[in-house]
Structure 1
Amino acid sequence: MNRHQVLPHVELSSEPNALKKVDCCAPQSYKGTGFLSITDMPRVADEASTKLPGDGFDWIVQTYFKDSPGSEPHQILELGLKGRLYLVCQRCLQDCVVDLDEKCRFILMNSEAEADAYPIEDEEQEPLVVKQHFNLLETIEDEVLLSLPLIPKHPEGFCEPHATIFGDVGDEQPENERENPFNVLKNMKKN
């Protein structure tokens, strides 16, 4: 590719099926925006505790070529995601809203070997291996899943721990009447 060549600019379709086969090996750049519902992303839907109509993620994608000294220009993919998902709060076991607003940048590579050789200390962008029929929808879904918290929780003070975690409510004793678990050890020491 000639460094001074003007590349065609292609507008991406917002249809989920069209995002499954994007030709990232062609000498052209892409731009697109759209909305993906939770149902368009089955792995994300599996994580959701509640699925409401209209839930999903707005996305924006742009690719461009960036000069790299001594070699051919590298293609860069910038992805922005914004949306919300309902997960189970690990404190109270009720629905918890998780709002995502993510921006990530990838350098597109042609092979696994090329991606493995990419410097790991580059925190601005990570390598992403692409083929002629690149599944952009899967990459968007991957980034949503990677952005989810490991342990979803409401903010402090917004929920109470679930009673069944600590035993049945009917079996609870007042705080001052609970049996000390170390009494057994105390009695053993006396004998």
Structure 2
Amino acid sequence: MTTTDKQLPANIMLEKWADIGFFWQGALTIAELPRLAEQAEIDGVLAASVALAKTDGIIWLNYQLSGTLLLQCQRCLEPLSLQTQEQYRLAVLADEAQTALIDDADYLLLDELGAGNVHKLPIKQLMEDELLLGLPLSPRHDDCQMLINDDDTQEQEPEDNPFAILAGLKGKLS
């Protein structure tokens, strides 16, 4: 199935799409990624493509995300643009015995996606997780200069030390 005119579903039903394949291409907005919205804004939209296909009994999910995220610089508090253009590949495995077939690729187990005959792959959540993991811990501009308030840089007069009297008495007592 190829779709480009509809919104990306939150979940992909593996029983329905694993054998025939699934492809989606389009744009994601910040409203579709609420956890990301708490950390960043999207400058426009994120371009995304998703492909799900079964190869040699293993379901492979490939997706790409590209666009610009706007973060707040932790030094100057001004907006900071972060370009993202990432490709992800994830295997969906029936059991852990299949891990030998995927050459250290990232994977999910079907048991993690639901019980019984209904396995929903939370595609939007996976995309959002990857974007959140890619955000810098403390975003800042490379050439950022902290704004310095002149009032804070003035030297303050030394305060009277209450123990200064005791220091003067020290020599007199001996």
* TM-score for both structures, normalised by structure 2: 0.71
Deviation of 1:122 (Å): 4.4
Instruction: Give % identity.
Output: 26
Change in CA separation of 1:82 and 1:115 when aligned onto 2, cut-off 3 Å: farther
Structure 2: how far apart are the matches of 1:89 and 1:59? 26
Match of 1:171, SS state, is: helix
| Greater Rg over alpha carbons, structure | 2
Which of residues 72, 77, 84 is equivalent to 1:100? Answer: 84
Change in CA separation of 1:12 and 1:140 when aligned onto 2, cut-off 3 Å: farther
Gaps of 5+ in 1: 1-9, 68-72, 180-186
Give, as a single letter, the amino acid of the residue that structure 1 aligns with 2:39: E
Deviation of 1:80 (Å): 0.4
2:23 is matched with 31
Match of 1:63, SS state, is: strand
Which of residues 123, 132, 145 is equivalent to 1:160? Answer: 145
**CA deviation map 1:44-91 (0-9, x unaligned):** 11112x566xx2311011122222xxxxx1011111000111111122
Structure 2: how far apart are the matches of 1:13 and 1:137? 16
Give, as a single letter, the amino acid of the residue that structure 2 aligns with 1:23: M
User: Residue 11 in 1 paired to residue 2 in 2?
Assistant: yes
1:66 is matched with 55
Structure 1: how far apart are the matches of 2:152 and 2:138? 29
Task: Answer whether contact 2:30 2:36 (CA < 8 A) is retained.
Answer: yes
**CA deviation map 1:128-179 (0-9, x unaligned):** 2445332212222112112212221212x2x21133xxxx431313xxx799
Deviation of 1:23 (Å): 1.2
Count of residue pairs brought into register by the alignment:
154
Structure 2: how far apart are the matches of 1:51 and 1:170? 36
Task: Answer whether contact 1:93 1:162 (CA < 8 A) is retained.
Answer: no
Gaps of 5+ in 2: 158-163, 165-169
2:167 is matched with none
